[in-house]
Amino acid sequence: MKKQNMFWLLLFAVLVAGGLLLFFSRGHGEGTVAVVSVNGEELERIDLSKVRRAYDLDISTEYGHNTVHVENGAISVTQADCPDQICVAQGKLTGSGIPIICMPHRLVIEIEGGDLDA
């Protein structure tokens, strides 16, 4: 194999490994305040540590419909009428770091990091 090819292969391998490592080491952050927004507009702000009984939120906008399940310490999308269903497959969000995204509906759910009392 050419030297140049070897260089690129190694570079790509390092980038892939680094990327995966970086991504999977995130998402376990502190924080309990979940923010639900569509198209950059904040719709709901919920302190998940204070949720006593689980409930469903219906998020219906011009882009589509999502059912957001809110429970103590976790938030997830349980239903969506988007074609890819990636937001549903992402499962429960329990800590800050990696937000849930439904790209076709421009929906983002993230848990804010940091101290609750701050």
Partner 1 sequence: MRKTGKLALMALLTAIALTIFVIENQIPAPVPVPGVKLGLANIITLITMKILGKKEAGAVLLVRILMGAVYAGSPSTLLFSAAGGLLAFLVMCLLVGRFGDDQLWIVSALSGIAHNAGQLLACVLVVKTPGVFAYAPILAASGIITGVFTGFAAQYLLRALKKTRIW
Q: Is 100 helix (H, G, I), strand (E, B) or coil?
A: strand
Shortest Cβ 55–partner 1 spacing (Å): 24
CB-nearer residue toward partner 1: 10 or 54: 10
Q: Give the end-to-end CA distance of the chain in Å, rounded to a whole number.
A: 56
Sheet containing strand 55-61, edge to edge, reads 55-61, 64-71, 74-80
Q: Alpha-carbon distance 90 to 10, whole Å?
A: 31
Shortest Cβ 53–partner 1 spacing (Å): 27
Shortest Cβ 81–partner 1 spacing (Å): 11
Residues that bind partner 1 (CB under 8 A): 4-5, 8, 12, 15-20, 22-23, 26-27, 37-40, 63, 83-87, 89-91, 97-99, 101-106, 108, 110
Q: Alpha-carbon distance 37 to 34, whole Å?
A: 10
CB-nearer residue toward partner 1: 20 or 116: 20
CB-nearer residue toward partner 1: 35 or 57: 35
Shortest Cβ 92–partner 1 spacing (Å): 12
**Quick check: 69 and 78 in contact, CB under 8 A?**
yes
